[in-house]
Structure 1
Amino acid sequence: MSRFFPQAAYEEDQKYGRTILTTHVLTRGLQAGSLVSLPVASTVYFLRRRGSPLLRPSFEALLLRSTGRGAVIGTGLLGIALVGRMWGREDIEWQDR
């Protein structure tokens, strides 16, 4: 993060507190959603394995689709959580997080 935004010595002096926190939360939401979707994709694949092989998508396609959905859902949920948690907070509270 310090490559993109200048780092202040004290939290009170941080100019981009909201931007830094929002960027951090959204990138972690993308990663968390993708990570949580991996066991879901594996479970769905092995449960569908019993069906017809012509109708079943490959594991890679199912994994990519599930990871993409998880990333979007995770980013959205953590974005909503950030707004809910930080609504009405002062700048110093954004900088301190």
Structure 2
Amino acid sequence: MKIGSYTLIASHAVITSLTHDVNSNIYAETLVKKPVMIDRNVWIGSGAIIQPGVTIGEGAIIGAGTVVTHNVEPNSVVVGVPGKLLRYIKRSETNYGN
């Protein structure tokens, strides 16, 4: 797992990089590692769930309670269950200060 600089993770957010092989009957022996990559200046809202294998691009915002199951493009706002693109953030709207 990689979490970039200046990333904000709110309370009760879950980031997981392990999953089970759903085709196996032996769950304890079939853990599958899928790394999570979170770039810099990302905001992750309260209660959001980031699933294994996801990459979140720089400057993205993940809304509270969102379940992220796929990669998130840089400077995008993703909300809902499952997470869907709400809009892109224009460069002029950002003020990272770093």
TM range, smaller chain? under 0.3
Normalised by the size of structure 1, how large is the TM-score?
0.24
Identify, as 1 or 2, the structure richer in helix: 1
Q: Greater relative contact order (Cα 8 A, min sep 6): structure 1 or 2?
A: 1
Normalised by the size of structure 2, how large is the TM-score?
0.24
